[in-house]
Structure 1
Amino acid sequence: MRLVRLLANLGYGTRKEVALAIRNGWVTDRAGRPLTADARTPHEDILFDDEPLDPAPGMVLLLNKPVGYTCSTKDRGRLVYDLLPDRFRLRKPVLSTVGRLDRDTSGALLFTDDGVLLHRIIAPKSEVPKVYEAELDRPLKGDEAAQFASGTLMLDGEDKPLKPAELEVLGERRARLTLHEGRYHQVRRMFAATGNHVTALARIRIGALTLDGLAEGTWRLLDERDVAKIFAPPSGNVPPPAT
């Protein structure tokens, strides 16, 4: 792929803007030699303004989403993309969220431009476990774990019961819930079905992938080992959300 097209696809600018950057000598190899628009230098050997290029297509990243941000590129207000470099919005293929967290939910949110991987993660048959911690308006009654694990709980307006989910009580009004599917506002609606109300909600784990000290509002690139953790079952003690 020609250098101009590569850089434009990575979001560094339009082809015209990228061509100008190349002419100005801002794009070099690791030895500092300016590259030409037709250069076919290996991706890992290219520097833009003395910095290594963003990953090639197939990029996966993890964001610790704060409350108040929407998983959209078009809605008004604060968007999760505002927390990423501006050029990430311009990448081709498009960098998409893997599923969604609503505006009032914080925690682990994945992004990728790999459509095959995205669909593998969200496909119902994958049953990738997602772990949430919820704070509740009223004390737990004690029968919630049995209801959620039964595989018979129906949400209002739906005609198919939920898959079994695991509930761990963390306190009088706190609980950890592991889901194996992803329905609209599922955690909030599950507790509503028991007569309770979620006042705060955070997703702290996807498979065996945790936030691992990632500060709220920040993100990191994932490597192959991280991606493999997405499809591994949670095990051991789950750490609290990063702050």
Structure 2
Amino acid sequence: MKQPKGFEKFANKKKAGTVKEQYRKERREEKNERSSAIDQRFDEKRKERSNQAETPKGHFPRNAPAPASKSGFKKSSTQAERSARYDASSDKPMRPVAPASGRSSTKRTAIPLEKNIAADNMSYRDRDPNLQSAGAQMPLNKYIAHCGICARRDAAALVKEGGVTVNGKPVTEPGFKVTDKDEIKLNGKRITISKNLVYILLNKPKDYITTTEDPQGRKTVLDLIKTATTERVYPIGRLDRNTSGVLLFTNDGDLAQTLSHPKHEVKKIYEVTLDRPLTKHDFDTIANGITLEDGFVTPDAMGYADPKDKTVIGIEIHSGRNRIVRRIFEHMKYDVRGLDRVMYAGLTKKNVTRGKWRFLNEREVRLLKHFNKSAKK
């Protein structure tokens, strides 16, 4: 029996953990290849600089003056003189460069001592260029997203509703340019950009609403992470009330925009439990694509999670349409008894029990921000 395209990703896999481990292996191989290429390139550049810095013995007369630089100024003849230079623009002493100890050295650009120390103490959360440039202009909806209120597209809707004022005047254009010096209020409350970026992964259980607040008083996903941070974070994307699995929270507006926008095609893997076994005919129909009320949709990969239990299906999909996985199987007259998202943008719920959360580490954040770029290479 011929297997449909993408089936091999799930076929003969008894546990979702095996699928995730294979995916992580592929990601590690890609990362190792990139690292090797980068290291090789840096080695070549270091050799080039080393060759250029080496001066042949006896090339200059013993008492000859030091050659002039390209700018026409003579180089200092001693380490002490080099260490005593001042930055003409800031009048701040430079950090002295350690002696070469017989090794060939490369040219280094002197950095003001205070700036150098500040850079050493800067965490990766503070290196966002959008947050560093004080006074830089940005669209109003982007400013609201950086305040940790919501994603950029949701912020555009808030602006259009008329609840935002800039310096006391109502603004309804999401692209209106503002700076951090402007007084911006949302529903009468002033908001400011959050410089402490937070990234949280939650293993969402059932019976929780994916929203920041619910008028009906039902339990929300923010109730599960209320002790995680004092920063105002919001969920990236949505999971239905009866859907469990990986859900991300952040106050990083740019990352939320990247992961939630359809053009980036972020991959998600779901484990679907049906009320009855999925037949071969229906399996092939779904794998080849079906037409729903809002358009045509095709899974990226699909297969039985356990060949002996054909009520449990693994499906990988990048579409972000509302309730897309449930609607696919409901269209084929199946009742979805359970839906669990086991992977989102390369992140899994490994070692995170249901209803618990954890912070993403620096490496995960870095990979998450470049996830789509590396996946397309």
Per the normalisation by structure 2, the TM-score is 0.43
Picking from 271, 291, 296, the partner of 1:154 is 291
Paired residue for 1:113? 251
Higher-helix-fraction structure: 2
Q: Percent identity?
A: 35
Paired residue for 1:83? 224
Higher-strand-fraction structure: 1
Aligned counterparts of 2:285 and 2:196: Cα–Cα separation in 1 = 43
* Structure 1 moving runs of 4+ over 4 Å: none
Picking from 70, 78, 95, the partner of 2:209 is 70
CA 173–120 in structure 1, closer or farther in 2 if over 3 Å, else same:
same
CA 66–193 in structure 1, closer or farther in 2 if over 3 Å, else same:
same
Deviation of the 1:43 alpha carbon:
8.5
The answer on 1:193 being equivalent to 2:331 is: yes
Aligned counterparts of 2:298 and 2:278: Cα–Cα separation in 1 = 21
Aligned counterparts of 2:336 and 2:213: Cα–Cα separation in 1 = 27
5+ residue gaps, structure 1: 1-41, 45-54, 235-243
Aligned counterparts of 1:189 and 1:176: Cα–Cα separation in 2 = 15
Paired residue for 1:61? 200
Q: Is the partner of 1:143 in helix, strand or coil?
A: helix
Paired residue for 1:165? 300
Paired residue for 1:175? 313
The residue type paired with residue 83 of structure 1 is L
1:3-152 mapped onto 2 (5 Å cutoff): 57-75=196-214, 76-86=217-227, 88=229, 91=231, 94-151=232-289
Aligned counterparts of 1:206 and 1:224: Cα–Cα separation in 2 = 17
Deviations 1:25-58 (A, max 9, x none): xxxxxxxxxxxxxxxxx787xxxxxxxxxx9532
Deviations 1:171-202 (A, max 9, x none): 22111111111111111100011111100111
CA 97–196 in structure 1, closer or farther in 2 if over 3 Å, else same:
same
Aligned counterparts of 1:119 and 1:147: Cα–Cα separation in 2 = 33
Aligned counterparts of 2:201 and 2:248: Cα–Cα separation in 1 = 5
The residue type paired with residue 79 of structure 1 is T
5+ residue gaps, structure 2: 1-120, 124-193
Conservation of the 8 A alpha-carbon contact between 1:163 and 1:180: no
Per the normalisation by structure 1, the TM-score is 0.66
CA 203–87 in structure 1, closer or farther in 2 if over 3 Å, else same:
closer
Aligned counterparts of 1:119 and 1:108: Cα–Cα separation in 2 = 18
Deviations 1:135-181 (A, max 9, x none): 10111111344333324x112x31x2114332111222111111111
Deviations 1:200-223 (A, max 9, x none): 111010132111110111111112
Q: What count of residue pairs does the alignment treat as equivalent?
A: 177
